[in-house]
Amino acid sequence: MPRSSANRGALDDLLVFHELARSLTSTLDLNSILRTILEYMERFINADLWALLMVDPLRQELYYVSREGAEDPRLADIRVKVGEGLAGWVAHHGETLIIPEAATDPRMADAASSQSFAVRSAIGLPIRGRKGTHGVLEIFNPHIDEHSDYTVAFLHMLVDYAAIAIENAQDIAQVQQLTITDDVTGLYNARHLYAVLERELEKARHESKSLSLVFLDLDRFKLVNDANGHLIGSQLLGLVGKRIRELCRTTDLCFRYGGDEFVILMPVTTREEALRLTRSIHSNLTHSVFTVGKGLELTIGASAGIATYPGDGRSVHAILGAADKRMYSVKSTGRGRVEA
């Protein structure tokens, strides 16, 4: 049970800090780190409510983190704009905000109205590292006394250490992402395909579900390189990869297999569904106009073959081989079609 500052000694605080530091440095998994932050903050100070929000840099919003360390599904629809409210102000300024009287501070209006209890006071602490502010720790109605300066100072040390752990985890995740990503198209690479396909096949076997895979090859792509150079060819490949990703469902996984070959993995998808989806993707892709270089506009044809588990095989190589064989059947009989 957490204790107030008045009943807690410096040695107790040091032990809390030591335990937190050891826990944070024992993992590079971001969700585990966020879960640890919440657990240890609650041990350090009494409050009516704690909340941890992480910054979504693309949307310039903050989202709530659950006790499991991931985005809280119960609060998935609640996002806080950077610059708005308590958490938004802290994220924007990168500074701690202490509000002793919530009723008189306009930044607390939304927070006060959304809670089931009366919000009297609040503290917002930025989780800020060398790369900026990654999140905000909110504390509503903290039970602090004459030792409040000491408590806030110690909280600053804790969130600083948390920021280091978060940045380390993000750096490792970024390096891992680079090892599975094709640098030309931004899609997953062939190495990752084999690992993912093995995993998805096992899942399909366990759940008795279908799984489909599309092998797509660009038609006469060599002519693009011969006529315009490899730089233009690489730019076109990047745009094609992006377009394929846009045309697929969010549940589909897209890979650059190599050269001008792409693979689309469609979990829980029958042959009939895959054929319908792939024909739509193929039609939209081949009717797309890609602008490369200095205003050069190009279109591209494609041939595609589909294989489905379990009908076409039960192993990685069987599924890939069946889709590849159908794709080459299309290539040898006129190109520009989808075969299942």
pLDDT in tens, 273-304: 999 999 999 999 999 999 998 899 999 999 99
Domains contained in the chain, CATH given: 5-178 (3.30.450.40), 188-339 (3.30.70.270)
Q: What is the pLDDT of residues 55-70, one digit of tens each?
A: 998 889 998 887 665 6
Contact 87, 124 (CB under 8 A): yes
Helical (H) or strand (E) element with 106: none
Residue with tokens 């490792």: 172
DSSP for residue 7:
G
**Confidence band (pLDDT; 50, 70, 90) for 220?**
very high
Which tokens sit at 282?
A: 């193929």
Bigger pLDDT: 180 vs 216: 216
Angle formed by the axes of helices 221-228 and 230-247, to 10°? 140
Q: What is the pTM of this model?
A: 0.61
- Is the predicted pLDDT of residue 135 greater than 60, yes or no? yes
Preceding peptide of 57 cis, ω within 30°: no
Cβ-proximal residues to 193 (8 Å cutoff; 6+ apart), any chain:
255, 257, 263, 265
Which of the two residues, 161 and 91, has the higher pLDDT score? 91
C-alpha distances in Å from residue 66, one per residue of 1, 139, 187, 290, 328: 20, 15, 30, 42, 49
253-269 confidence digits (pLDDT tens)? 999 999 999 999 999 99
Distance of CA 255 to the CA centre of its chain: 17
Task: For the chain, give the mean pLDDT.
Answer: 86
Burial class (CB in 10 A: 0-12, 13-18, 19+), 335: middle
CB-neighbour burial class of residue 37 (10 A; exposed 0-12, middle 13-18, buried 19+): buried
What Å distances lie between residue 328 and 5, 30, 255, 315, 336, CA to CA?
Answer: 72, 43, 18, 20, 11
User: What integer is the mean pLDDT of 234-246?
Assistant: 96
pLDDT of residue 149: 75
Amino acid at 130: R
